[in-house]
Amino acid sequence: MIEPEFPEDLSAYDSGGKYLGEVKLGNASPVAEPIFVPPNVRHENNVLDIKTIQRDRAATLRGYPLVTFDEMEADPPAKNWLIKGILARGETSAWIAPPGAMKSALLAEAAICVGAGLDWHGYRNKGVAGVLYFAIERSDLVKRRLRAHRARLGLAGTPICVSSATIDLTHPDAFKKVIDTIRDAKTILGDEIGFVIIDTFAKLIAAAGGDENSAKDQGAVFANVQKVKNATGVHVALIGHTGKDESRGARGSNALLGDVDVMVTISGDEIKSVTVTKANDAPEGPLFSFKSDVHQFGTDEDGDPITVNVVSSEEVSSQVGTKPTEPKLSTNQRVMYRLLSDAGPAGLTVEAWNELAKETGIATKQRHYEIRMALKDKGLVREYAGMWRTNRSESGGEAQRTGRLSDFGAARDGGASHDL
């Protein structure tokens, strides 16, 4: 089948970008319903039957596509993760920090981990996916960082593309060229694109004279971002700036906060802390911390070092960067906190935590409850979806996150000048 350059009705494509063909009803417009089939999900016959019913129904309905209560069972309840717990296909994230806070460097490292199938700061990679990085500003810096990771890890053939073009998503049809670019990248790389980075959000809006302080302009951008995700199933990560008051979050209209699935802020000086400040269906709180490192490519014609600042491979406890005042804990509180810390990122159910506490001599459920609530009030633990986890780690306490880019071997060159 020859695919049209771009159909009038985007529903002729499924969420993975595959062309589904057109369904005609007399002189009616094409109304093929999108069918999202995650690439890593095995579908049973009943699921495929439901998808067939939905597609056949699309040939007779004139309104918007519908899914019944029972048909919702055909979709897997778990998200289709790229990096489990952080980056999911079909979602949008915003990564917000002041200038020089290594936000672009962090997303360049994320691109490497998604494209090379590596875990990211202890968060599990769920399979290699292609990456498209729209470096609207400082594209040379983005490319140098990617080259530094390539050299340090000895990578080749990693499915990552960089576009230095100034893209515009404020006009109604602007999404079409972005979708075309994603498909071009898939053709060039030979891998399905799962991760799209836009650096920066301010430049994206300003490309056509838009204003990041305008909720209307931001709304137009997010409408197009949604169309891109609907047609391709990618995760879109937006890199943005904080305002003059960093505590108030992203610069510009607060529409950004309402339109993203996950908002992450980066703060700190020598130690950078990465924190989820908003999430639709995940816990908020610290993700991880990191430090910067200098990669040296060699020297230029004058003998001066050619360097770039990247995220360091050194493991950093999230507590090191902020050095908070330690809350005072009783002996039993410290014991129960340690039990939860030792469980690591997976956490514990209330029942499992109580059982472990009982084995240490903390006997009653009432006592367990009182200690649990005291730890929660002190901001040390949190509960989400029936699982309890620590909010931060102690030195030698909560298992430090592993699976980082441990193969990074270049020594730090503290005397060289570098990019932030």
pLDDT confidence of residue 106: 97
| Residue 36 predicted with pLDDT over 80 | no
| Average pLDDT for 28-47 | 46
| Residue 58 predicted with pLDDT over 90 | no
215-267 pLDDT, tens digit each: 777 888 889 999 999 999 999 999 987 754 444 445 444 445 557 899 999 99
| Average pLDDT for 125-143 | 95
The answer to whether the CB of 286 falls within 8 A of the CB of 318 is: yes
Provide the pairing of β-strand 235-241 with 92-97: parallel
Q: What is the mean pLDDT of the chain?
A: 77
| Residue 411 predicted with pLDDT over 70 | no
**Which of 111 and 320 is assigned the larger pLDDT?**
111
pLDDT confidence of residue 70: 80
The residues pairing with 310 across neighbouring beta strands, listed in sequence order, are 293
**Which of 326 and 335 is assigned the larger pLDDT?**
335
**Which of 45 and 234 is assigned the larger pLDDT?**
234
The answer to whether the CB of 316 falls within 8 A of the CB of 273 is: no
| Residue 368 predicted with pLDDT over 90 | no
Quick one: tokens of 418? Answer: 């570098």
| Average pLDDT for 110-127 | 96
Spatial CB neighbours of 45, under 8 Å, sequence gap ≥ 6: none
| Average pLDDT for 346-358 | 88
190-219 pLDDT, tens digit each: 999 999 999 988 888 877 677 666 677 788
Phi, psi of 98 (to 5 degrees): -70, 165
Tell the residue number behind the tokens 């199933």, with chain if given: 233
| Average pLDDT for 383-388 | 82
pLDDT confidence of residue 219: 83
**Which of 386 and 114 is assigned the larger pLDDT?**
114
Taking residue 30's Cβ as centre, other Cβ atoms within 10 Å add up to 17
pLDDT confidence of residue 205: 80
Give the percent of the chain with pLDDT over 70.
74
Residue 406 — very low, low, confident or very high, per pLDDT cuts 50/70/90? Answer: very low
Spatial CB neighbours of 366, under 8 Å, sequence gap ≥ 6: none
Residue 72 — very low, low, confident or very high, per pLDDT cuts 50/70/90? Answer: confident
Q: Is the pTM of this model over 0.85?
A: no
| Average pLDDT for 47-70 | 76
Please give the DSSP secondary-structure letter assigned to residue 226: H
pLDDT confidence of residue 226: 93
7-11, 159-163, 181-185, 305-309: least confident range: 7-11
pLDDT confidence of residue 338: 87
46-60, 85-99, 269-283: least confident range: 46-60
CA angle 266, 271, 274 (to 5 degrees): 25
Read out DSSP for 245-289? SGGG-BSS-THHHHH-SEEEEEE-SSSEEEEEEEESSS--EEEEE
pLDDT confidence of residue 324: 46
| Residue 26 predicted with pLDDT over 70 | no
pLDDT confidence of residue 30: 42
| Average pLDDT for 324-346 | 80
| Residue 96 predicted with pLDDT over 80 | yes
